[in-house]
């Protein structure tokens, strides 16, 4: 039984399939809800987010599909929004937010080069190091702590419905090659963020997207973080961050098993404008 995914990408951004194909894939898996969460507009042109002149078409199409498939699945209209550590969500129109059923707040960009161009933590290893050199004088620990500091600030101030891939900063940290996840300072940074989430209604996602795309063999967040989440009783939802229809429920079964093994007996999924709790 697959319940839901509200983190999915389509041809409106960097996904391979149309919104309708993603919805059909979710129906095929027996899901109760699917949310389409195209990468939202950015203050500059990139290939992987929705073009400004396509935003209204996107909204209209998802609303049309919501109606078309309402007897088979609940379709939700969302967006994955980029938080910038300096300008925050300044680039997002309030009127756009009012039209969405939910938001995913993510930090992909952690700093800027001298020319103002932002650099991402979601790219390749070399690019990450280049960025950390530019903004943090090469101090990886400082950059990682700052990542969680800004993630906390984003959640406290804007309360996105879902926090996107909370430990994305580990993407290039295979075998703890950049920093050691077992170090106390890392645990403190992560737990500080979890304490911030605990005071809001935001939900943390288990995100299998990097597994599907071959970047990692593990989900976001790491297993030990899931245990900290359980201790704080912060609700968890499972999302595929799928960029293609075939990955709509990538490793969901394994995630249910993992959470059960960690002693988590329920997860939540978004439906009818609220988080619904289900027993695993």
Residues forming the site for Zn ion (CB under 5 A): 80, 106, 164, 241
Nearer Cβ to Zn ion (146/241): 241
Cβ-count burial 19-43 (b if 16+ within 10 Å, e if not): bbbbbbbbeebebbbbbbbbbbbbe
Shortest CB 39 distance to Zn ion, Å = 7
State the nearest-atom distance from the C-beta of 181 to Zn ion, in Å: 20
Kindly tell me which of 20 and 241 has the beta carbon lying closer to Zn ion: 241
C-beta separation of 206 from 230 below 8 A: no
For residues 46 and 123, give the distance between their C-alpha atoms in angstroms, rounded to a whole number.
14
Calpha distance 197→83 (Å, rounded): 16
The residue among 20 and 80 lying less far from Zn ion, judged by its C-beta, is 80
Shortest Å distance, C-beta 14 to Zn ion = 9
Query: What are residue 87's phi and psi, to 5 degrees?
Result: -105, 5
Q: Least distance in Å: CB of 13 to Zn ion?
A: 8
d(CA 235, CA 160): 14
- Residue 248, CB-side half-sphere exposure with 13 Å CA sphere: 25
- In the bound state with Zn ion, the residue whose beta carbon lies nearer, of 171 and 180, is 171
Q: How far is the CB of 79 from Zn ion (least distance, A)?
A: 10
**Cβ distance 271 to 74 under 8 Å?**
yes
Cβ of residue 82: shortest distance to Zn ion, in angstroms? Answer: 8
Closer of 111 and 209 to Zn ion (Cβ): 209
220 or 256, CB closer to Zn ion?
A: 220
Cβ 73 vs Cβ 27: under 8 Å: yes
Which residues, including other chains, have CB under 8 Å from residue 181's CB and lie 6 or more apart? 170, 173, 187, 222, 224
């Amino acid at each position: 039984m697959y319940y839901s995914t509200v983190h999915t990408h389509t041809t409106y951004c960097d996904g391979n399939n149309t919104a309708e194909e993603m919805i059909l894939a979710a129906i095929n898996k027996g899901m109760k809800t699917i949310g389409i969460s195209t990468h939202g507009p950015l203050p500059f042109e990139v290939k992987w987010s929705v073009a400004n002149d396509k935003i209204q078409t996107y909204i209209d199409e998802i609303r049309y599909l919501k109606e078309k498939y309402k007897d088979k699945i609940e379709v939700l209209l969302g967006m994955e929004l980029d938080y910038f550590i300096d300008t925050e969500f300044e680039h997002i129109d309030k009127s756009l937010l009012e039209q969405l059923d939910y938001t995913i707040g993510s930090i992909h960009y952690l700093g800027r080069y001298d020319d103002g161009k932002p650099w991402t933590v979601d790219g390749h290893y070399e690019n990450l190091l280049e960025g950390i050199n530019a903004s943090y004088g090469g101090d990886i620990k400082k950059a990682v702590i700052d990542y969680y500091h800004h993630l906390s600030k984003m959640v406290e101030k804007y309360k996105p419905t879902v926090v996107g891939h909370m430990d994305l900063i580990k993407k290039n940290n295979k075998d703890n090659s950049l920093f050691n996840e077992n170090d106390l300072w890392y645990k403190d940074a992560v737990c500080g963020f979890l304490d911030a989430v605990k005071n809001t209604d935001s939900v943390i996602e288990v995100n299998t997207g990097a597994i599907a795309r071959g970047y990692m063999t593990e989900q976001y967040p790491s297993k030990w973080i899931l245990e900290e989440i359980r201790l704080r009783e912060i609700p968890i939802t499972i999302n595929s961050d799928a960029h293609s229809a075939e990955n709509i429920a990538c490793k969901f079964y394994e995630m249910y098993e993992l959470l059960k093994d960690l002693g988590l007996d329920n997860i939540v999924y978004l439906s009818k404008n609220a988080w619904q709790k289900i027993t695993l």
